[in-house]
Amino acid sequence: MPDLALVHAIERATLSALPAPRQSFDGPFVIKAFHGGTGRGNAAASLDPSPDSALPARIARIEAMYRRLGLPPRFRSTPLDPAGLGELLAARGYRQSEDNVVFAGSTEVAAVDAAVRDEGGPTEAWMALIATAEYQVPARQAEKRETPGLLAAAGAWLILREDGEDAACLSSVAGGGCCGIFDLVTRPEFRRRGHGARLIRAAAAWGRALGATTLFAHVAGSNAASRALQESCGMREAYRYRYWLAD
């Protein structure tokens, strides 16, 4: 059974870290809409697992909102779902994504790294690294460029340099005692050299300096290499979530 207090803290930190220009609430659900890129910025998610007698009508309203905004309805299912959400979505024809795993640990793994610099935003150098990841489609990249203007929490856009070249990057957001790491990308020719772990530890140092004690990351359940990386940095699985997608 997941620690719901930890889940709640990380979910709130995730919502802060991935802002969207259009946001609304319906009961326990926060509804986010951006350019249709990253799931977390374009999905509805509950922050309260209490029973919800109005859930069927709420789902219909959220669906209608996404349709009106020109986006496919998408729900992010976490341990904070009200009972019956999955069954109701399945009955409406939604399909499930694979599991995503949220890892959490302590920022005590922090290590300042002289080869890591903070770009202060998604600069062209940082975006060039992001573009080397095949899943970073144009809508996702557009959202990343616009994030600084929407972000209230502190953010960092880190690049690790090796042999005179920008080798790897990640972004990090700190707030509410949590430091989240996102967008970890290493150029193919620099992989398997430990750059991911160095960036995670550098991000932990950055977040720790701002008072963060909890370090967390979201990883696709099928990405065994990334899961092993988080574990090598002292993080352990805290909970899982998945998306329910409408065609």
Question: What are the tens digits of pLDDT across the range 117-168?
Answer: 999 999 999 999 999 887 778 899 999 999 999 999 999 999 999 999 999 9
- On whether the CB atoms of residues 75 and 89 are closer than 8 A, the answer is yes
User: Residue 239 has what pLDDT?
Assistant: 98
Q: What is the pTM assigned to this prediction? A: 0.95
Quote the CA–CA distance of 133 and 80 in Å, as a whole number. Answer: 31
Domain range list for the chain: 4-100, 104-239
Reported CATH class of domain 104-239: alpha beta
Cα-based distances in Å from 180 to 28, 37, 70, 130, 214 = 23, 19, 29, 17, 8
Distance between start and end Cα atoms, the chain = 31
- Max CA separation in the chain (angstroms): 59
User: Residue 247 has what pLDDT?
Assistant: 77
Residue labelled with tokens 């990841």: 133
Average pLDDT over the chain, rounded to an integer: 96
